[in-house]
A and B are shown apart, each in its own frame.
Chain A
Amino acid sequence: MNHFPEAWGRPRNDVYGAYDASHLQSSMPNQHTQSPIVTGTSVVALKFNGGVVIAADNLASYGSLARFTDIERLKQVGTHTVVGAGGDISDMQYLHEKLLDPLIIKEEYQNDGHHLRASHIYRYLSRVLYQRRCKFNPLWNTLLVAGWDEGKSFLASADLLGTTFAAPALATGFGAHLAVPLLRRVCPDEAAVENITREQAIAAVEECMKVLFYRDARSLNKYSLAIITGEGVESVGEGAAKEKVTIEWKKDVELQNQSWKFAEGIRGYGAQVV
Chain B
Amino acid sequence: MAGAVTAHLSQEASKRPKHITESAGVRWLLISIALVFLSLAVVMPLVSVFIEAFKKGFDVYKAAITDPDALSALRLTLFVALIAVPLNAVFGISAAWAISKFRFKGKNFLITLIDLPFAVSPVISGMIYILLFGAQGFLGPWLDKHDIQIVFALPGIVLATIFVTVPFVARELIPLMQAQGVQEEEAAAVLGAKGWQIFWRITLPNIKWGLLYGVILSNARAMGEFGAVSVVSGHIRGETNTLPLHIEILYNEYQFSASFAVASLLVMLAVLTLLVKALFEWKTNQGASHEKLN
Q: Do A and B come from the same complex? A: no
Chain B residues proximal to chain A, CB less than 8 Å: none
